[in-house]
Structures are given as C-alpha cells and as structure tokens.
Amino acid sequence: MVRQLVLRGVGVGALGGLLAFVFARILVEPLVQAAIDYEGGRDDARAALDAAAGLPVNPHEHEMFSRGVQANLGIGLGMVLFGVAMGALFAVAYCLAWGRVGRLSPRALAPLVALGGFVTLYLVPFLKYPANPPAIGHEDTIGERTGLYLLMVLGAVAAGVLAVWLGRRLVDRLGNWNATLVGVLGFVVLVGVLMAALPSLGQLGINVEQYGELATETPTPLRDARGTIVFPGFDADLLFRFRLYSLGAQALLWAVIGLGFAPLAERVLGRSGRATEDAATV
C-alpha cells in the first residue's frame, strides 16, 4: 500500500512541478531577465567607477549555459524534479498521518497534508527569507544564506510536528476545535521565536562591513565618491512581483499535489477507511 501511495505521490508531484514551471516561465522568467539586465548594468557602472579611480576591473565571466537553456531546459527540469521530490515526501507524510490525526477520509486528508507541507516547507521560511531574483544577495553570503534557510525549514517542520502532537494530546480534554486552535497557536509562537532569533540577511557580517546595518540584501543606489547616484537601486515593483509569483508557483505545486493525490489515495485506501490499521503500522 505504501509503495502504491508513494508512486502516486511522485506522479502528482511531477505534474505539479510541470504546471508550476509553465506558470513560472510565463510570469517569473521575464522578471528574472529584467533582474539580470539590472545586474549587468550595475556591474558596468561599478566597473566604470573603479576604472576612473584607478582600481583594477574584474572581467565579465562567461556563462556555461545560455539564457535560453537556463530559462527552459534548466528551470523546467529542475522544477519537475523538485515536484517529484516533494510528491514523494508528501506521500510518506500522508502515510504517517493516515489513521493518526483523527477520523479523516483518505480524500480529506490529502489537502490537509499538502497544506502542512506548503506552510512548513515553503511559506514560513519564505516569510523570513523570501525568494530573491538575480542581482540580490552578495556572492560571499551564499553559504550563510543557504544554512539559515535550511535552519528555518527544519524549525518550521519541527514546530509543525509538535503542533500536531499537542493538538492530538488535547483533543479529549478540549475537543477537536479548541485543540486545533491551541496547536495552531503553539506553531505560531514557536515559529515566531525562531524568526526573531535568526538574523536578517542584511545583518550578515559581510553585508554590515560593506553596506552598514540594513534589513535586507536588496541593492541600494550606487553612488560615486561625491555621493552622486550613478545607478539606481533595485526596482521595488519588480522585487514584489517576483516574490508574489514565486509564492504563486509553489502554491500551485502543492495544490496540484494535494488535490490530485486525494482521489488516487481514496482508490488505494477505500472510502470506508478499511486500511487504517495497515497504515498505522507504517
């Protein structure tokens, strides 16, 4: 049974990744290109300032793959494979939850597990460290940024597991509704504490050293030695739309996984929940 559910999770995950890629290719890719154009213009402006000051100018690096390959084959394959991974992870979480989180039908459980996956694996980390297009983020902070993001993901998952456990423990005493509210409140508190404890990207050592105390790594206007702006800061509207559409692509992926998996799981488990005992042994 578990193998059948995981294979179905992989299938709907691949479909979700494909649809998310189509969404991103139409709405996000033009913004990525605009960000790359901004980065190139800013680099040229900085090179001109360095040359005028008699400083060495670093040559432009040539890309191994063209933008066409990156925007189509690269991102498309990456998102499908990501969808496959999330679909398999979702199916495993579904098997663990089946029969352990109340008397939910196979169809009803799927969207709830998908919602939990979306919130813990993407939405909560996104709120602390939102997605950024090219041109945002110092190249020397990549390792720190990756570590902080993964820590945020692990913290959100742990908080979600603890919230579910707490809610189940309080069901007999408070009832389903109140126990669920307590679990959600506990999740919000734990996540809030973690967000407050972790530094913002603008507070990383290299950024503070070069740019001062800022909240983010979003490029500010480039100025010459006299303080005159020679190149504008990053477009706030472009950044907002990139983050909004990135969030939309992930929401689409998880919606396809949850809604697509629901009828497939019902066929495997049956409408009456007859497989509850089998699933409880996973």
pLDDT of residue 105: 86
pLDDT of residue 82: 95
Low-confidence ranges of the chain (pLDDT < 70): 53, 56-71, 271-282
Neighbours of 122 (CB within 10 A): 21
* Distance from C-alpha of 97 to C-alpha of 128, rounded to nearest angstrom: 27
pLDDT of residue 26: 93
* Distance from C-alpha of 212 to C-alpha of 202, rounded to nearest angstrom: 8
pLDDT of residue 272: 41
Q: Is 142 left (phi over 0), alpha (psi -120 to 50) or beta?
A: alpha
pLDDT of residue 57: 66
pLDDT of residue 75: 84
pLDDT of residue 278: 45
pLDDT of residue 98: 87
pLDDT of residue 226: 84
What residue segments make up the domains of the chain, in order of their start? 2-136+236-280, 142-217
pLDDT of residue 83: 96
pLDDT of residue 139: 78
pLDDT of residue 281: 41
List of residues 6+ apart from 271 with CB closer than 8 A: 105, 106
pLDDT of residue 60: 60
pLDDT of residue 114: 96
Instruction: Supply the Cα-derived Rg of the chain in whole angstroms.
Output: 23
Candidates 203, 80, 83; CA nearest to 138 is: 203
Mutual angle of helices 29-52 and 236-269, in 10-degree steps: 140
Three-state DSSP at 66 gives coil
pTM attached to this predicted model? 0.85
Burial of residue 281 (number of CB atoms within 10 Å: 0-12, 13-18, 19+): exposed
- Express each pLDDT in 3-49 by its tens digit: 899 999 999 999 999 999 999 999 999 999 999 999 888 888 888 87
Three-state DSSP at 230 gives strand
pLDDT of residue 68: 67
Triad 22, 150, 85: Cα angle to 5°: 45
